[in-house]
Chain A
Amino acid sequence: MKRLVPLIITFVVGTVLILSVFIPPMEGLGENFTLFFDIIAVFAFFLGGGNLVRVHFQKMSRKSDDWEFSIVTLVGFFVMLAAGLFKIGNPGDIASSVTADGSLFQAIYRSVFVPLSSTMYALLAFFVASASYRAFRAKNREATLLLVAAFIILLGSTPFGTMLTSWVPESWSIFQIPNLAVWLMSSPNLAGQRAIIIGIGLGVVSISLRLILGLERTYLGDDNA
């Protein structure tokens, strides 16, 4: 029961979706299955939220390290949830967009979510730059190739790249740094990325087949059924 039913579900759903590509009358069934998938995806959001609340309540009740900050998480969570579910301050009625301008939900999004999310990623600029100084070394031939390619791309995307090689005549224009950067992206980079894509593509196809046929079962966990 614990293993057989999930294996049957995976097999049936996977097979129907593959067949729906080849057999047009099955297209509608395939669409409905994907629609079910989309609805279940929302329940996954609910699961995420529920888990977050559980973990932080546990932290608070056990007085774990930094438990005070769990209050911040929960207050943020419930305020945002209430603002969104009840459409607080929404200029329209219940049918209008939840993200309408003027709503509390959109105000929190702009003033809390946006600065937090974008600054979190902006921090990486400092770490990348610092790593360039401390760790990016031409230790061998391969590392040198990587470094030179990165250098051409960085230089090619600035006016300094244009300035440095503007003296190169048109008949040798591939050696002008911006042109070299474009060539690097659309030729060796394209080739390398394509080799990776083909490799991953084959991997996805084979793992999909193994999942549908029930040969790959790690997603079911490891307890005995």
Chain B
Amino acid sequence: MLSPLMAITVQDIGITVSLVFILLGLAWLAWRSFSGKEVDRRIIFLFIFFSVAMPVIFKISFKFKATPIVNALYEKIESLPNNSTVLISYDFDPAMAPEVQPMADALSRHCLSRDIKIVYMCLFPTGQGQLEQTFSTVVRNEFPEKQDGIDFVNLGYKAGGEGVLNVIVTDFEKMFPTDVNSVPYSEIPIFDNIKSCKNLDLIISIGGGRPGIKEWVLFVGDPGNIPMAAGVAAVVAPQLYPYYPNQILGLLGGVKGAAEYENRLRDSDPKFADMPTPATTMMGPQTLAHIVVMSFIIIGNILFFRNRKRGEIS
């Protein structure tokens, strides 16, 4: 008799409690609105805060199937032979980090596990700070056997955005005479056969602002005919679709794109079964917040049409 109840998980309880809270809140909001009473904006803010906080506390998460545009990047990395070289550029600041840091970490994990060499660089000054996070959580923590300069290299930040790209498309050493720790270019084994971006097998820009993937496409991808891909904050993702698939071969858009990539990676190989999946974890609160926003739109519009019918709004 009790077996069905025993199967109930903390996540199920969490979803139920969160949904009940959200439904009660929305019902109250609808009741206040339809009875013509003002709702203080701070109450709405508080409601949004708890709608996001509850699924965070209950660790609600959902699995997502990779969409073609995400899968294309995964397949590209899978198709690269061992010892290929991929450049990952950290073109973001902490404000975009919750969305794009999980992508950067998952991509690093995927490349390193396949013995693909990674050249890290940044077009945002803050990218260098964020890069340290990937180094401490993924590179040094999960791949202690990988050696700096041989399996990966950190070139760090250079000022100038498009100016940096215009140089490295033809000459890497001119822009980066040393890596971030002042090791000369000629003494870094990873660059033995790399003179410019044209010698790279894939370039991935992780970002969401300017300079970002658009500049990479304009200044490096198109002139050098180099395969490009991107992981970007949701705000700019729609603007990049015109470049797919001719100018960028794959795109991870927002935390959903990151979650899709994490799931694709985890499902592909048992060795990734226990990998951290921060983006997937974020999709629970994200989902419930979407429901709240959509409900707000519905309530607001019902109110609008009712008032228009009554002639209160012309």
Contacts and interface: CB of A to CB of B under 8 A. Distances in A.
Interface of A: 21, 27, 30-31, 34-35, 37-39, 41-42, 45, 92, 95-101, 106, 109-110, 113-114, 117-118, 120-121, 125-126, 128-130, 132-139, 147, 150-151, 154-155, 157-160, 182, 185-186, 189-190, 193-194, 196-197
B297 A151 contact: yes
Q: Which 8 pairs show the lowest CB-CB distances between chains A and B?
A: A38-B160, A95-B182, A133-B296, A194-B242, A121-B95, A114-B94, A158-B287, A34-B163
B12 to A, nearest CB: 14
B293 to A, nearest CB: 5
Question: Taking each of B67, B96, B256, which has the highest tally of chain A beta carbons within 10 Å of its own beta carbon?
Answer: B67
Interface of B: 29, 41, 44-45, 48-49, 52, 62, 67-69, 93-98, 126, 128-129, 131-132, 135-136, 154, 156, 158-164, 166-167, 170-171, 174-175, 180-182, 223, 238-239, 241-242, 244, 256, 286-287, 289-294, 296-297, 299-301, 304
Contacts of B300: 132-137
Given A35-B163, A95-B182, A137-B300, A159 B94 contact: no
Contacts of A100: 132
A31 B167 contact: yes
A125 B48 contact: yes
B294 A154 contact: yes
Contacts of A151: 294, 297
Contacts of B223: 21
A133 B44 contact: yes
A31 B166 contact: yes
B241 A186 contact: yes
Nearest to B131: A99
Chain B contact surface mostly: helix
A51 B154 CA distance: 32
Contact of B136 (A101, A137, A157, A193): A101
B94 A97 contact: no
A159 B97 contact: no
B292 A129 contact: yes
A30 B176 CA distance: 17
Given A97-B154, A129-B48, 17 more contacts: A35-B163, A38-B175, A97-B128, A99-B131, A101-B132, A101-B135, A129-B292, A134-B300, A136-B297, A136-B300, A137-B300, A151-B297, A158-B286, A158-B287, A182-B67, A182-B68, A197-B239
Nearest to A190: B241
Given A130-B41, A185-B241, A27 B294 contact: no
Contacts of B129: 99, 106, 109-110, 113-114
B87 to A, nearest CB: 18
Contact of A118 (B29, B98, B160, B174): B98
16 contacts: A38-B160, A110-B129, A114-B94, A114-B129, A126-B45, A130-B41, A132-B296, A132-B297, A133-B29, A133-B296, A133-B297, A137-B304, A147-B301, A150-B297, A151-B294, A189-B238
Contacts of B167: 31, 34-35, 38
Contact of A27 (B126, B132, B161, B170): B170
B301 A137 contact: yes
B299 A96 contact: no
A50 B85 CA distance: 41
Nearest to A42: B159
Contact of B301 (A34, A138, A194): A138
